[in-house]
Structure 1
Amino acid sequence: MTIKESILPGATLGMLGGGQLGGFFAEAALRMGYKVAVWDPDPNAPAKRFSHFPVTADFEDSSAYESFTNQVNATSLEWENVPVYLTEKMESDGHIVRPGSNSLELAQNRIKEKAFLKTNGLPVTDYETINDPNELENLLLPLPWIVKTATLGYDGHGQWQINDQEEVQTAIDAMGTGGPWVVEKVVPFMKELSVVVSANGDGTLITYPSTENLHWEGILKTSISPARIEKSVDLKARELASTVVRFIGAQGFFCVELFLLRINDPSKRDSTPTS
């Protein structure tokens, strides 16, 4: 979307998903003079507190689709697990969705995401993919590992850390049949960083200062912005995040998460289209 195509205040912005990130989006939009429509199956989704047009229905609901799309001038995504088929239909019907289906499909599948990063020469931790938990017994990847479901895992859900060979069977028993999975070699990192990148589609990228993330038991507890890092590290992280988004080639706002392995060496972890 170029400046000439900008959606100006007074218009209605749509949000697919109504979690807390959607709430932040809606609050900011209201302050700028926009109206907001939020579609989420949960009637108590947090973002609906700020919505002029709340829609409560499954994403497969055709009448909800018509109700939502008739209200909005442009739509964004609350998180990466919004169904791709929904955004594809919206795009095919001529609706503006930012970020779009291609980047959404990439972000919600860890195997596709890591293959994309590796193919484009971007730094990513060593990993293997498996379709059966029993494959863990024969992996040549050095321990320790973190095993993650390829899809739908978040905030520590769908993840198992394996520190030594004795823990392999315990993980196999816990994983069940929800594959495939990606097995990552644990990276001893100094900090986890996030960089928000805005891409307008004509090659212009804007980055925001790095944020430092602190986790407890796999769940994000605190974000510190700006991150407690040297300016040179911040610039390198922002440059790397911009490179990731440039390769993705889509419009919208993206949050790229990175590990700082040592001074001046951020290593890419994953990328999440975000509102």
Structure 2
Amino acid sequence: MSLLRVEGLGIDFGGLRAVNDVGFGLGPGEIVSVIGPNGAGKTTLFNMISGLYLPARGRVTLDGEDVTGMEPHLLAARGLSRTFQNLQIFHAMTVLENVEAGHHLHEKGSVVADLLSLPSSRRRNAATRESAYALLERVGLSRAAGHEAGSLSYGALKRLEIARALALKPRVLLLDEPAAGCNAVETEEIDRLVADVAASGVAVLLVEHDMKMVMRISSHLVVLDHGEKIAEGEPAAVARDPRVIEAYLGAQAGEDAGEDTHAHR
């Protein structure tokens, strides 16, 4: 059974069908990428799955539970977290503090204990700090733990946002263009990180324009065009699909993507 299942999802904006009848499944350890041209409805789809938009049609289930339109913090408590195209980082806080902030849903304690700095509060804070530091090590940012987040490079900020999302201990992680604006080296770092997250058993749903990255790490592709799903399947097969080539990849890009997929198998 799929951990995350999307069935017939759709939404309209002022009479325009932004997304219509989109469905797919995602299992533990899988990387499923949603691709398509600008305006295809990819981020709108993410916003419905993650509770920012209420779908007009269809449903979303998480581990068999109907979570359609459930508020983001309730979804996060159930194991679904996401990152955004536009960074949501606290720039004036340290790198470590940003990741500590991601632990808030799993922290149990009282305001009184915190105000009085009771032993239970100190133990909880120490455990949070230790967990946050381990996540920074995982994303390659432990040396920057005490630096202001605003001092990091763009690629490092992208990895920091993934670390903070991982602090929520997700079973499903939605990544909205994690490599956008990154150079080749930064993209490769994010590529390895996403693959590592999936290898740990987390189901990863990815929106990304970097087709080489998508073809390298994805186990499954979903292709949108004008809000409709026009293709779905393994990367090599999707790259050869005439509808996908016409809508998005272009003939040469389709050939290159197919070769790139074979090269990494």
Q: TM-score range by the shorter chain?
A: under 0.3
TM-score (norm 2): 0.27
Tell which has more relative contact order, 1 or 2 (C-alpha 8 A, sep 6+).
2
Q: Which has the higher helix share?
A: 2
The TM-score, its normalising length taken from structure 1, stands at 0.26
The structure richer in strand per residue is 1
